[in-house]
């Protein structure tokens, strides 16, 4: 619970390598699984920073984040609905509360220059319905929906123009 599948992590890594973002904001870092994939991409690019924001409602925050990635990541314990928004964001990976309206609010607050990615777009539950509805409201249809087995969640990807 609260993590991404390896195939989803690989797609995030590939996006980081392809788009070469300098500043990545992750909304919902939880234990650091997706953070690790993003940090590996930054490391392999030779530059960049992941700013991982989570509200500290769970125990074990960023506990899966290997020490080798810590210099590429700034872990921020804050509520993404009210925290200070970093400047010059290139990429956002959003995997936060999934409450109705959350993804749409995040899209209003955090405006990346290159790409927005939301997790759980295809999730067959109320969680997924909220993400899909909010994503579509904020961005229109995704440019790409990444949905490969064994995931039941899906990534919605919107490239900024």
- Overall domain count for the chain: 1
Asked, for residue 58, whether it belongs to a domain, the answer is yes
> 133: which residues sit within 8 A by CB, 6+ positions away?
100
Asked, for residue 10, whether it belongs to a domain, the answer is yes
Asked, for residue 141, whether it belongs to a domain, the answer is yes
pTM of the predicted structure, to 2 decimals: 0.92
**pLDDT tens figures, 73-103:** 998 888 999 999 999 999 999 998 888 999 9
- Please indicate whether residue 59 or residue 145 has the higher confidence score (pLDDT): 145
Distances (CA, A) of 157 to 8, 76, 132, 135, 149: 12, 24, 11, 10, 17
Asked, for residue 105, whether it belongs to a domain, the answer is no
Q: Are 119 and 155 in contact (CB under 8 A)?
A: yes
The pLDDT of residue 60 is above 60: no
Asked, for residue 53, whether it belongs to a domain, the answer is yes
DSSP state of 50: E
Name the residue range of residue 94's domain. 6-99+112-159
What's the CATH number where 78 sits? Answer: 3.40.50.150
pLDDT band (50, 70, 90) for residue 1: very low
Asked, for residue 61, whether it belongs to a domain, the answer is yes
Average of per-residue pLDDT across 54-60: 68
Arithmetic mean of pLDDT over the chain: 89
- Please indicate whether residue 71 or residue 96 has the higher confidence score (pLDDT): 71
Rounded to a whole number of angstroms, the CA Rg of the chain reads 14
Asked, for residue 29, whether it belongs to a domain, the answer is yes
Residue 42: its H or E element: helix 33-45
The pLDDT of residue 144 is above 50: yes
pLDDT score, position 61: 64
Residue 130: its H or E element: helix 126-139
Asked, for residue 107, whether it belongs to a domain, the answer is no
């Amino acid at each position: 619970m609260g993590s991404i599948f390896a195939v989803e992590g690989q797609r995030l890594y590939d996006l980081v390598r392809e788009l070469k973002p300098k500043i990545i904001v992750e909304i919902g870092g939880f234990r650091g699984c997706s953070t690790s994939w993003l940090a590996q991409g930054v490391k392999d690019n030779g530059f960049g920073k992941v700013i991982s924001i989570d509200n500290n409602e769970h125990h074990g925050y960023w506990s899966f984040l290997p020490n080798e990635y810590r210099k590429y990541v700034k872990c921020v314990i804050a509520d993404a609905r009210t925290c200070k928004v970093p400047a010059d964001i290139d990429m956002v990976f959003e995997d936060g509360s999934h409450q109705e309206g959350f993804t749409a609010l995040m899209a209003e607050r955090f405006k990346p220059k290159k790409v927005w990615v939301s997790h759980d777009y295809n999730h067959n539950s109320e969680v997924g319905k909220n993400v899909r509805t909010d994503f579509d409201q904020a961005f229109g249809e995704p440019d790409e929906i990444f949905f490969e087995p064994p995931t039941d969640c899906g990534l919605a990807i919107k490239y900024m123009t």
